[in-house]
Chains A and B, each alone.
Chain A
Amino acid sequence: MKIGLFIPCYVDALYPEVGVAAYKLLKHLQLDVTYPMNQTCCGQPMANAGFEREAVSLAGRYEDMFQTFDYVVAPSASCTAFVRFNYPRLMKGKQRCEAAEKTMDICEFLHDVLRVTSLPGKFPHKVSLHNSCHGVRELGLSSPSECNMPKFNKIKDLLSLVEGITVVEPERVDECCGFGGMFSIEEPAVSTRMGTDKLERHIDTGAEFITGPDSSCLMHLEGVARRLKKDIKFIHVVQILAAGL
């Protein structure tokens, strides 16, 4: 299976260890992984700010770069959702979006396509799972708390394959943390209050780590935690899944 690895811009610059973990994990699972060197950003930051037209050329480049792969896998639920659901609309009548349609967040790829049943590593820690909005409500990584449907959580299922781990969730299990891209700088007071509330609910679980499928939410929460001098640690889900590799 040919996999194109998509590492979003901010993961590239700020959290390269997340990219490394994703790469190692996919390699460990015997996949043919390629990282096209020309990749940059999906365009979500501009689009959510009201400038989706500035993302059109990026959508075109994305298709050129990734169309030959069986799947495009990214360690970022939000960027995945943007590519998969917004590119086809943005490119309507301009270009086909095959690559966008086969883009998956790494958690849903592991859970739904590879259906992994074992992982090699150990992570003997208590982690509080951050269910990020676009993962929950766009990709369906877990059952949204608002909906009347059988409860599930694909990330929890995956994490439970790691030896020694204890996974807990905060109260208000999938309330937004207040990042929202440029929302965090345009509405700083609300964003900070939401981040603080979320952080406190995670801390109240007694966990050592906050983990999630989106480094963007984690970056926001970590920024608030450092300002408030809270000493909880942050780690992307894929780093836990790739523990020991």
Chain B
Amino acid sequence: MSTLHSKAAQRFLETNKNARWHDDTFWVLRAKRDVMAHELDEWERLRDVACAIKRHTVTHLDRYLEQFVGNAERNGIHVHWAKDAEEFNQTVLSMLRKQGVKKMVKSKSMLTEECGMNPYLESHGIDVVETDLGERILQLMHKRPCHIVVPAVHITQEEVGHLFEEKLGSEKGNYDPTYLTYQARLSLRDEFMTAGAGMTGANFGVAETGDVVVCTNEGNADMSTSMPKLQIVAMGLEKIVPDYKSLAVFQRLLCRAATGQPTTSFTSHFRKARPGAEMHIILVDNGRTDIIGEPEHWETLKCIRCGSCMNTCPVYRRSGGYSYTYFIPGPIGINLGMLKDKVRYADNVSACTLCCSCDNVCPVKVNLSEQIYCWRQGLDSIGKADLVKKSMSLGMKYLFNHPQMYDTALKFAPITNHLPHVLMYNKLNGWGYGHEMPVFKKQPFHEIARNILKDEDKKGNI
């Protein structure tokens, strides 16, 4: 009984000397988030309001999208629609080709990750340069993000040092973070100056004004859009909020939940192209409108990608981002993966104890654990149920529906206390991996109760 996640998690724990550090690091983020949450008297109310705004917006998406697009176009922005990843990638490529762009700088966008944009553009001869430091490190290492907010947190400064020696020609043996950051800055400066296009993601799109709002800690979104003449925004349909008033609610929640800062260092609002430049927004569906039609799962669309569910998840912290088969890990990733392709990503559903901590930290109150519970109920119907679990469940059902047999089973259960060690502690019994077996009592409560009842009968108490 094991899933791809459980196998990868075991490898992570048994071979990675930084496993404990990984847990501690993400716990620090959770603790910093707690400080922020407890400092604001209105924190829980903000979550309620944020949840209500998102529910409203997601269920009135047509109206707000039209308003957003109308305002953006009035501001001179070119708006494009992409129904899926392929159409999105093609739109970007044709835009770049039209302008003869050979190199594009981009700030962090999980949507482009979702669409596989970088490899697509690279295969068509476009040089794509990530400008978020973490993303840049991963790009140079040919690795994928392990977290949606701090994507390269699992890479040590020594590893970054070696990488920069090789790729950027930094000093040998100098692993000082300030020095390494400076080296990255020097190299990126050059990329910003020579790129023909700049792309950002979008944290929010404000329907009332047509603004795109991007939150970063490094200012790289501003650099990516200040130099090149072509600015492209990749934006999922669900990023729309109605107005500035509602934006303020999310602005207060996002970074507090994500990293425990009151706000990101940079919150950039883009309303129109710079003089002499062009600005394009590509609105991407890629399955989002299908999710609206999922009665048990549509609320995943409320997610603002803060990553706090990962930071609090005791399983994520102890298994790492790469143990999940979907590119977004943790509780929200389990759910988004299932919505993307429930057969392909079913192995992540085991990565949850149903502790419900993610539900409590989520700033927009996505019912993450309840949804994971629901996905588990559907595994059997798609042929993804574990056969051992299935037969155990059927066996239990039979036993528990037949009280006399249950009674007999209880009587004989203590025999297992004396089974040879090898029968109880082997690969078939996951419990034996790190536990000793519990001891069945000679007299179960049923029997004790029967005796109590007999005694009370004699005394005439009943």
* Chain A interface residues toward B at CB < 8 A: 7, 9, 11-17, 19-20, 23, 35, 37-41, 43, 45-55, 57-58, 61, 133-134, 137-138, 144-149, 172, 174-176, 178-197, 219-220, 222-224, 226-227
Contacts and interface: CB of A to CB of B under 8 A. Distances in A.
A16 B13 contact: no
Given A20-B445, A40-B406, A54-B393, A176 B436 contact: no
B384 to A, nearest CB: 9
Contacts of A137: 355-357, 359-360
15 contacts: A14-B440, A15-B441, A19-B448, A144-B360, A146-B357, A147-B37, A176-B314, A176-B353, A178-B353, A183-B352, A188-B430, A192-B433, A195-B434, A223-B431, A223-B437
B343 interface: no
Contacts of A184: 430-431, 435
Contact of A189 (B13, B43, B413): B13
A103 B251 CA distance: 41
B279 to A, nearest CB: 39
B350 A183 contact: yes
Secondary structure at the B interface, as helix, strand, loop or mixed, is helix
Interface in B33-60: 34, 37-38, 40-41, 43-44
A182 B44 CA distance: 33
B172 interface: no
B266 to A, nearest CB: 27
Nearest to B316: A190
Given A49-B376, A146-B37, A183-B352, A219 B438 contact: yes
B379 A147 contact: no
Contacts of B43: 148
Contact of A58 (B401, B430, B436): B401
A144 to B, nearest CB: 5
Contacts of A47: 373, 377
Contact of A187 (B9, B356, B443): B9
Chain B interface residue number, banded: 35 or more
Contact of B356 (A51, A133, A190, A192): A133
B273 to A, nearest CB: 42
A47 B356 CA distance: 16
Given A190-B13, A190-B318, A54 B394 contact: yes
Given A13-B440, A148-B44, A182-B389, A50 B379 contact: yes
Nearest to B7: A189
A236 to B, nearest CB: 12
B351 to A, nearest CB: 7
The 10 closest A-B pairs by CB, nearest first: A192-B434, A223-B435, A180-B353, A185-B430, A50-B376, A188-B433, A176-B355, A189-B10, A146-B360, A19-B445
B392 A49 contact: yes
A19 B449 contact: yes
A40 B376 contact: no
- B10, B351, B353, most chain A CB atoms within 10 A: B353
Given A50-B376, A51-B393, A147-B44, 13 more contacts: A37-B446, A43-B397, A46-B393, A54-B394, A58-B400, A138-B356, A148-B37, A176-B355, A189-B433, A190-B319, A194-B314, A226-B436, A227-B435
B39 to A, nearest CB: 9
Nearest to A85: B370
Contact of B410 (A13, A178, A222): A13
B403 to A, nearest CB: 5
Nearest to B1: A186
B400 A197 contact: no
B74 interface: no
Nearest to B39: A148
Interface of B: 1-3, 5-6, 9-10, 13-14, 19, 23, 27, 34, 37-38, 40-41, 43-44, 312, 314-315, 318-319, 349-357, 359-361, 373, 376-380, 385-386, 389-390, 392-394, 396-397, 399-401, 403, 406, 410, 413, 429-431, 433-441, 443-446, 448-450, 452-453
Contact of A172 (B27, B38, B392, B438): B27
A149 B44 contact: yes
Nearest to A50: B376
A178 B431 CA distance: 12
Contact of A186 (B350, B377, B390, B399): B350
Contacts of B448: 16, 19-20
Nearest to A226: B436
A89 to B, nearest CB: 10
Nearest to B411: A13
A89 B271 CA distance: 47
Contacts of A192: 433-435
B235 to A, nearest CB: 30
Contacts of B429: 185
Contacts of B19: 193
A146 B2 CA distance: 31
A219 B40 CA distance: 38
Contact of A14 (B359, B435, B439, B446): B439
A23 B450 CA distance: 13
Contacts of B356: 133-134, 137-138
Contacts of A7: 445, 449
Given A186-B386, A189-B13, A195-B434, A38 B354 contact: no
B377 A50 contact: yes
B361 to A, nearest CB: 5
A133 B441 contact: no
B411 to A, nearest CB: 10
A55 B401 CA distance: 10
A179 B353 contact: yes
Nearest to A178: B353
A194 B437 contact: no
Contacts of A40: 399-401, 403, 406
Contacts of A194: 314-315, 318, 353
A245 to B, nearest CB: 14
A54 B397 contact: yes
B396 A46 contact: yes
Contacts of B380: 50-51
